[in-house]
Amino acid sequence: MTLRRELAALLQDRGYRGKHGAFGLRLDESFSFVVGVGPLNRRTDIHPAVGLRCHPVEDSMTSLRGLPDAPFAATIGANVGYVIDGEYRYFQPPTVATEVLDAIDAGLRVLDRYRSLEAIPRGLDEVRAADANPSTGYRRVVVYYLIGDAADMEEALKLARTEYMKNPGDEIAHQFIEFEKRLRASAP
């Protein structure tokens, strides 16, 4: 059994659900922890990712973007090392699965401090590599929309527009235009 498969079994024993190397554990009505262990194949190394998923943010974002649900997408997340101390981390034998699980637990404890809508923007700023996710700009807009903070939502839209409209005729720009139309149509 590979390290990835051993870790997947440990996560499932803890109540995580998932497949193909991505797992989630519902914490409450609004939040889940998500863990990525990579494809469950014969590879012996593992580069675990940890995340905090805010269901209202992810549900609203996929709806406003016109995309299908991605049930293990993290609102805030990155490689476990980036979350813990800012340094990329991977594991390979002779590392044992419980050692990887300890690192995952440490990363999830860090992410747990962002478990409110109001704390998510801070998490997006503080967790290294979260800003590298191509959907972070959308997530910021959606968080402020859900909070009802029109001023910060407009500022986040301005930043997202700068990011996604670099090439006005491409698909990324078109997706942003449609997102903003849906957002404006749904805003009170």
Torsion of CA 76, 79, 81, 83, to 10 degrees: 0
* Confidence at 145, pLDDT banded by 50, 70, 90: very high
Q: How confident is the model over 107-122, as pLDDT tens digits? A: 999 999 999 999 999 9
Which residues sit opposite 25 in a β-bridge? 33
The pLDDT value recorded for residue 188 is 66
The pLDDT value recorded for residue 20 is 77
Nearest residue to 34 (alpha-carbon basis) of 47, 49, 45? 49
Cα distances from 114 to residues 70, 86, 122, 148, in angstroms, run: 20, 17, 8, 18
Contact present, 130 and 123 (Cβ < 8 Å): yes
Top pLDDT among 131 and 37 is at: 37
- The whole-model pTM stands at 0.93
**Average per-residue pLDDT for the chain:** 92
Question: How large is the C-alpha radius of gyration of the chain?
Answer: 17
Question: Between helices 171-186 and 55-65, what is the axis angle to 10°?
Answer: 110
Averaged pLDDT for residues 34-61:
90
